[in-house]
Structure 1
């Protein structure tokens, strides 16, 4: 009965937290669920998990962050995501346990992320990634990554900007000469009204406009909302593998449950792997 109540509360209580908070924690919570499944802990049993097991998970996150030389934010976000979902289920959070506190303190004291330098990404890096991963037979996830990298480079965008690039027909407009991307907000947007980024069509395998066109076609994105409140989602998002091949995990969402962008952590991990395969010194570009 208690387990059922927790699941019901978790399903009904998202309004108790801001939508932006839930979007931020969606992927870290999913990662935790998938890790727990490896221990044969089912999703319906997750609210009965022992705090010591959660501390083991946070230690796993800590070790991955240390190996990839990122800061303590990955551990703190993972912990906060778990605490948030337990709150929504009306259950005490296991992250309050002393063992979990110890892992968070350890991460704050010892993890030091590399300072990222976007300007170190060179045109030859983008071309090399396009040659390796964006050929005529490119898979959807590979084409999505190369397109994202090319758009970021050509548009001088940070990852936070890229994550907000919507595929909606009036926010992403492709013409013969260029592509216009309307961002809802940016670091340099003093009035918070958004701004338009224009990227020229330059031709060639690494052209950001051509890559975007190919991605929209291959991914079968829905770009026109069918009703008020329908969310068509961002350009960069999760992909699933089906018997028919790779497909977008979600084609549409709603204003209450929008499609979230791929997380920075997942993006960085994929970029590192691609750079390694292409023979690019990934410490210089990610």
Structure 2
């Protein structure tokens, strides 16, 4: 049962009592809002501080990661120091924002940009083989952090490496050579003695005639192999029971060949003209081999020298014993498993000894037997590239030499047809100049100034007939010359790199008179082979020369004119280019009377 509640008496009028209750409620609401606001602000400050600390930790890890990627200790120190300055600039920038100092903010931003650019240059220099030369080349071009920045860095690095290569003293280096201090001393305890570089301006390798100077502290005695005196004045001469080798010198690289052997005994004449001629003897000795052969032999002999110095005991590289050469051949067979490496090593060692006038160890029967054994063990069947046929050329002409073909397409078709018809190697095709081409009504003549088999640069002429067909190489070359605007009888290379003009939407030959590179030529020709349905992995640039030779051989062309047209020196080299057809191969069994 509900009980009625009694009302309390109050001295406050009813209306005034209601107003008091409303005022108290509004005060409580304001307090609640203020409390909520303070709690949210406090939580936000805590979250902001936590986020800031995490950001600092993450930034620190990034900087440490950048430091670990740097190779040079000096670059690490400089990069870390720049990072500390950047941290200080961040604090200064925050203070400048608080004080609303726009000028200070602008100065700090410029300083930060300079330091960031410097750190970028440090990373480029540290990762590039050319070091700070790459940075110099990069700074010479327009610096920008756009999509082309990586391309600019690679381009700058390539230019720096080329300049670094050109700045080398070639082919002679100014390195010191190591000589053993005693006859029984190991190679590791050798003294470093300065040797004058050959053919360096102001220095002479050969001793001029006249009064001999007194022994110097760096002179070596070839009797006891100690420094400070000569063999003729050796104090240990009477105590020496066995006469050491006259050529007991450690050779560490190819250039040192001209400091031993016959070169030590050559005296420079007093006559200046005769002395100049004498100083050119080594230069012309090197020219007895082609530049590419010299480069190959130099590298192979330097590798042999490195191998000789890798042992604790003494192993002479020049003169080398037949035992050490045989051991090195076995080493190459096990490590590289390449017959070409073995051939290059033996030829290089043999040539080095002939240059120095020393006994050739490669003529030893021991070396010959070991070489033959390793070649039998490492030789593998050679997979030659397949030849291009006239049917393939028909497809290439239809795609790349039609009425709508651009200069780029026409260049591909012209290179293929001329290489096929003239049996041209790539070097012969690339070095063709306008003055080497003579066109008549019935044929054209290609003058090959320099060829692989033309040792004395006598030059050869290749005659190509005008067939007046779709595959006529003369007509296609005339069309290419007309479209490319090449001038007759000039020194301009026929096949050069192209430039695409966006305005006219057409290709033009670059003004730089440089032949097309092997890499680019191979790329576009193999792409053309692939576009007509061929497996580009089975073909190469030599497929054009091989295809022309195969077509001529299957057509029954005489061996004499066939060999002359292809500029082959031997029958084996000529036969290696010819791929007989199935009908030719079946002729033997068909004529056996079976």
TM-score of Structure 1 vs Structure 2, range by shorter chain: 0.5 to 0.7
Considering only aligned residues, what root-mean-square deviation do their CA atoms show, in Å? 3.5
SS of the residue 1:41 aligns to: helix
2:308 paired with 1:41 = no
1:135 to 402, 405, 427: 402
2:431 paired with 1:172 = no
Higher relative contact order (CA 8 A, sep 6+): 1
Cα separation, partners in 2 of 1:141 and 1:115, compared to 1, 3 Å: farther
In structure 2, the residue matched to 1:50 is none
SS of the residue 1:124 aligns to: helix
* C-alpha distance in structure 1 between counterparts of 2:417 and 2:153, whole Å: 40
What whole-Å deviation, never above 9, does each CA across 1:191-229 have from its counterpart, x for those lacking one?
32111111011122221111100000000012244xxxx
Which of these two proteins has the greater Rg computed from alpha carbons?
A: 2
Question: Displacement, 1:183?
Answer: 1.0
In structure 2, the residue matched to 1:146 is 413
2:498 paired with 1:239 = yes
Structure 2, unpaired ranges of 5+: 1-131, 141-146, 169-334, 338-381, 541-594
Q: Tell me the matched-pair count.
A: 191
Q: How does 1:22-171 map to 2 (within 5 A)?
A: 37=148, 39=150, 41=152, 46=156, 83-88=161-166, 117=385, 120-168=387-435, 171=436
Cα separation, partners in 2 of 1:82 and 1:200, compared to 1, 3 Å: farther
What whole-Å deviation, never above 9, does each CA across 1:97-123 have from its counterpart, x for those lacking one?
xxxxxxxxxxx979xxx9653x61111
Structure 2-normalised TM-score? 0.29
Cα separation, partners in 2 of 1:283 and 1:203, compared to 1, 3 Å: farther
Q: How does 1:173-252 map to 2 (within 5 A)?
A: 173-225=438-490, 231-232=491-492, 234-242=493-501, 243-244=503-504, 245-250=506-511
Cα separation, partners in 2 of 1:214 and 1:193, compared to 1, 3 Å: same
In structure 1, the residue matched to 2:520 is 266
- C-alpha contact (below 8 Å) 1:183/1:194 kept by paired residues: yes
* C-alpha distance in structure 2 between counterparts of 1:221 and 1:285, whole Å: 30
* C-alpha distance in structure 2 between counterparts of 1:120 and 1:40, whole Å: 37
What whole-Å deviation, never above 9, does each CA across 1:19-64 have from its counterpart, x for those lacking one?
xxxxxxxxxxxxxxxxx945163689x36xxxxxxxxxxxxxxxxx
SS of the residue 2:434 aligns to: coil
In structure 2, the residue matched to 1:68 is none
* C-alpha distance in structure 2 between counterparts of 1:38 and 1:156, whole Å: 43
Question: Displacement, 1:188?
Answer: 2.8
* C-alpha distance in structure 1 between counterparts of 2:387 and 2:151, whole Å: 43
In structure 2, the residue matched to 1:93 is none
Structure 1, unpaired ranges of 5+: 11-35, 48-77, 91-107, 226-230, 254-258
In structure 1, the residue matched to 2:73 is none
Structure 1-normalised TM-score? 0.58
Cα separation, partners in 2 of 1:116 and 1:161, compared to 1, 3 Å: farther
* C-alpha distance in structure 1 between counterparts of 2:496 and 2:539, whole Å: 21
- C-alpha contact (below 8 Å) 1:239/1:246 kept by paired residues: yes
Cα separation, partners in 2 of 1:43 and 1:188, compared to 1, 3 Å: closer
What whole-Å deviation, never above 9, does each CA across 1:122-153 have from its counterpart, x for those lacking one?
11111110111101121101101110110000
Cα separation, partners in 2 of 1:178 and 1:85, compared to 1, 3 Å: same
Question: Displacement, 1:275?
Answer: 1.4
Question: Displacement, 1:185?
Answer: 1.5
In structure 2, the residue matched to 1:277 is 531
* C-alpha distance in structure 1 between counterparts of 2:534 and 2:440, whole Å: 32
In structure 1, the residue matched to 2:65 is none
SS of the residue 1:236 aligns to: coil
* C-alpha distance in structure 1 between counterparts of 2:416 and 2:151, whole Å: 37
* C-alpha distance in structure 1 between counterparts of 2:527 and 2:151, whole Å: 29
Question: Displacement, 1:88?
Answer: 4.7
